[in-house]
Amino acid sequence: MRAKIFNKTFFYTWIIISVLMFSMSYLWHGLVLNDFLKIQYPFNIFISLAVVVYMSIGAVMASVFSIMEVEQSHVLKSMCLGLAIGFLVYSIVMLFGISYRTDIDFTYVAIDFTWQIFEQGVGGIVLGLVYKQVKILEERWAQ
């Protein structure tokens, strides 16, 4: 089981999707919404924790996908996994009251919820694409 999860495919997909999802989050919250101006603690601590969180989300997604033993529809199944993880992450964030804003209204929640699911959904799509390509390369190298 351990060899099935922690292989080249896992590590490539983990790093790529983690960097992608972190970058999307940084662009959305930092440049589009200017949410970083509302952070109550040092920016370097926030970014360090955000990196750890996104590396963890990517590791969970890559691990679950590796365990699933997907033979067909890599992209569709990984996108569904990403959407589910996005829903779970946002639910946890809302449960603990972690937000950039203190005046939360329905519009803000709906937009942020949609963005989180979109972000992890894109991460899932890339997960499926990278996973499939690395598997193809591994099979070619094994011959």
Q: What whole-number distance in Å separates Cα of residue 26 and Cα of residue 50?
A: 9
Handedness of CA 65, 66, 68, 71 (dihedral sign): positive
pLDDT for residue 68: 83
pLDDT for residue 140: 83
Compute the radius of gyration of the chain from its Cα atoms. Answer: 16
Q: Give the number of C-alpha atoms closer than 13 A to the C-alpha of residue 44, restricted to the C-beta side.
A: 0
Q: Supply 25's token pair.
A: 């989050």
Q: What whole-number distance in Å separates Cα of residue 122 and Cα of residue 68?
A: 19
Q: Supply 60's token pair.
A: 């969970």
pLDDT for residue 13: 92
Residue bearing tokens 């694409």: 129
pLDDT for residue 138: 80
Mean pLDDT by 10 residues, the chain (143 residues): 70 95 94 85 92 96 86 86 95 79 78 93 95 85 76
pLDDT for residue 3: 57
pLDDT for residue 9: 84
Helix residue ranges, H only, the chain:
2-5, 8-25, 43-67, 74-96, 106-142
pLDDT for residue 44: 93
pLDDT for residue 102: 65
User: Residue 107 phi/psi, 5° resolution?
Assistant: -60, -45
User: Residue 102 phi/psi, 5° resolution?
Assistant: -100, -25
Residue bearing tokens 């983690």: 18
Q: Give the number of C-alpha atoms closer than 13 A to the C-alpha of residue 137, restricted to the C-beta side.
A: 9
